[in-house]
Amino acid sequence: MSRQNAGFLTFGIIVFIMYAFGIHTFEAVWSFPSQRSVPLMVIALVGTGIYATIRLGFPQIKFLKHGINVTKGIYDNPDDEGDLNHFKALTTALSATVGIGNIAGVATAIYYGGPGALFWMWVTAFFGTTLKYAECTLSVKYREINSQGFTAGGPMYTIENGMGKQWKWLAIAFAGFAIICSFATGNAIQSFTVSDQIYSESLQLFGPDHFLTMKRSFLDLFQFSFQQVLNGIILSAVVGLVIIGGIKRIGQVTGYLAPIMAVIYVISAVLILIYHYDKVMSAFALIFNGVFNPTATVVGAGGGALMTMLNTMLMGVKRGLYSNEAGQGSAAIAHSTAKTNFPVREGAVAMLGPYIDTIIICTLTGLVIICTGAWKHTEYYASITASTLDEFNVAISEGSFRGLNFINGSLLTSFAFKNGLQWLFNFGDKIITLSVLLFATSTAISWSFYGDRSTEYLFGEGAIYWYRIVYIAFVFIGANAGIEAVWAFGDAALGFMTFPNLISIIFLTGALKKMTKKYFKEDYDSKS
């Protein structure tokens, strides 16, 4: 069967399952069906990360300095095969990962899983760093050059070219779910978050009865506002203008956006923590207590400390994966464009991603939310302090607990930044608005390339144009749609595309170990 026919069959099966059983059927990849079960994805991600880390001898520690040097351009050679230099390949990947996961994702993890979720984000990032090294090194090793002279790489090529043609069905499965994930996780969720943030700002300025902000009904199917429609049009235009230019233009835009947005966000968070320096150690205590000594006895994730711990772990791993994409295989598509003749070099560069994204930026976000007391506006806080189950249920129905309104997603982070920066100025929440706008836009731009490469793999270069048209349409849809189903399906697609990538890492770890050993023995000092 050809890739094209197999691709159509894959999407047909997915659509049938959605129609017959519903979108939430796919969530089984994440959820734990009983109190004794640990989510399969936790075992798969962390387990594969631990296995690869031990097998490769802790590359996230040994090769970190080398990755920094390569990123600096010390080993750059313009004559090497590829499209982008090491720095632009990294920023393109970071633009997809440093995004809503760092703002809304961390907030959501704390909202449902408490401060302890941050610990599991760290665990996912540490072992995920090895996964990032493995998947990106292999993607450069097994990439192809298309008819236009551009690189075509990623786990689908790693599986087919590295594991053999008999595994092509697994490569096709990865590409199919990568396309779906690009529409949901990489696109609609991003545009929704931007649109929702701008809409909230407009509500503060104009009120709910203004013609821009007033909610209107469309055929009793869904509600919308002219503000959200306008947001969708503008976002679609911006993303469309960039992605139509292909990887070169994407690399140029993200090469500027990623560093600028990261610096603004990090400086703001650091200023908050400096002002609240006396609460930082207490914040770390809350994090570790939330992992190993949860106080929930009333509600938690179904009642009791054990389920609270499992819920905290699940939220941390889910949002950790969403934040840094380690093990997912998406970043490998961006890193496969690097101009290099030595795959290990780009693998070492890729390891910097989880350190920057999760260990630094996500941690800063979480500490700000905890130190400013914003985390008390969460469902988790209500679950561990409610006197009775009835009190908790009433709080959930009313959206507030003991006088504190529940706040989730980017709005929780906005609340934390506004309160945390009041000693300096009164527009800390506007920094989050700007960050959300830049983060989400850059993520949507980068994810279009992932879907682009996956579409080419399945349906050929001629299908890329139509993919981009549909992708731009999803930017508009996401800005106006309800997000619950999008999150559910996006998480599921993310999980399903992860499994083929993890299988390829396990299968090729031996070859990767030999490749790594050979590089540092023979090629390390070569600048060419």
What span, in angstroms and rounded, lies between the C-alpha atoms of 227 and 235? 12
Helix, strand and coil percent figures for the chain, each rounded to 5: 75, 5, 20
- Answer whether residue 423 is part of any domain: yes
Q: Out of 50-54, 60-64, 275-279, 478-482, which region has the weakest mean confidence (pLDDT)?
A: 478-482
Inside any domain, residue 432: yes
Contact 250, 243 (CB under 8 A): yes
User: 175-211, pLDDT tens digit by residue?
Assistant: 988 888 888 878 888 888 788 778 877 887 888 788 7
Q: Which residues pair with 84 in a beta bridge?
A: 338
In three-state secondary structure terms, 331 is helix
Give pLDDT, residue 301.
45
Closest CA to 197 of 417, 416, 482, 433: 433
For residue 338, what is the DSSP state? B
Which pLDDT tens digit goes with each residue over 214-271? 877 766 666 778 888 888 888 888 888 887 766 566 666 666 666 777 788 899 999 9
Residue 158: phi, psi to the nearest 5? -60, -45
Residue 410 has what DSSP assignment? H
CA-angle at 41, arms to 370 and 351, nearest 5°: 70
Mean pLDDT of 496-518: 91
Q: Is residue 261 within 8 Å of 103, Cβ to Cβ?
A: no
Q: Whose structure tokens read 């909230």?
A: 200
**Token duo for residue 237:** 């235009």
**Residue 507: alpha-carbon gap to chain centroid:** 25
Note whether residue 7 is domain-resident: no
Question: Can you read off the two tokens belonging to residue 498?
Answer: 């992860």
What confidence tens digit (pLDDT) does each residue in 333-374 have? Answer: 989 999 999 999 999 999 998 888 888 999 999 999 999 999
| Residue 195: CATH number of its domain | 1.20.1740.10
202 CB-contact burial (10 Å; exposed 0-12 / middle 13-18 / buried 19+) = buried
Positive or negative: CA dihedral 350, 353, 355, 358? negative
CA-based radius of gyration for the chain: 22
- With 0.85 as the threshold, say if the pTM is over it: no
Does residue 379 sit within a domain? Answer: yes
Question: Which residue, chain included where needed, has tokens 């249920």?
Answer: 393
Which two tokens mark 45? 């991600």
pLDDT of residue 292: 74
DSSP per position, 33-76: SSTT---HHHHHHHHHHHHHHHHHT-HHHHTHHHHHHHHTTTT-
Residue 443 lies in a domain: yes
What whole-number distance in Å separates Cα of residue 11 and Cα of residue 17? 10
Domain count along the chain: 1
pLDDT in tens, 78-113: 888 888 888 888 887 877 777 777 887 888 889 888
Strand partners, 152: 144
Mean pLDDT of 54-58: 94
505, part of any domain: yes
Q: Regarding predicted confidence, which is higher, 525 or 512?
A: 512
* CA of residue 235 relative to chain centroid, distance: 19
Residue 303 pLDDT > 60: no
pLDDT, one tens digit per residue, over 125-180 is 899 899 999 999 999 999 988 777 778 889 999 999 999 888 988 999 899 888 88
CA-wise closest residue to 330 among 149, 174, 486? 174
* pLDDT of res. 32: 45
The average confidence (pLDDT) of the chain is 82
Q: Write out pLDDT tens, residues 405-439.
A: 999 887 899 899 999 999 888 888 888 888 878 87
Q: What is the pLDDT of residue 33?
A: 45
pLDDT tier at 61, thresholds 50, 70, 90: very high
- What is the extent of the structural domain holding 465? 39-212+219-514
Residue 36 banded pLDDT, cuts 50, 70, 90? very low
Does 427 fall in a domain?
Answer: yes
Nearest to 515 by CA among 83, 44, 136: 136
Q: Which has the minimum average pLDDT: 3-12, 133-142, 285-294, 395-404? A: 3-12
Instruction: Report d(CA 471, CA 317) in Å as an integer.
Output: 28
| DSSP single-letter state for residue 98 | S
Is residue 27 over pLDDT 90?
no
Query: What confidence score (pLDDT) does residue 1 get?
Result: 64
Q: Is the dihedral of CA 47, 53, 54, 56 positive or negative?
A: positive
Task: Judge whether 203 lies within some domain.
Answer: yes
Assess whether pLDDT exceeds 90 at residue 284: yes
Residue 485 has pLDDT above 80, yes or no: no
pLDDT one-digit tens code per residue, 427-479:
888 888 888 788 778 788 888 888 888 998 988 888 888 999 999 998 888 88
Would you state the structure tokens that stand for residue 6, as one six-digit string? 């197999």
pLDDT for the residue numbered 507: 93
Q: Does 323 have pLDDT greater than 80?
A: no
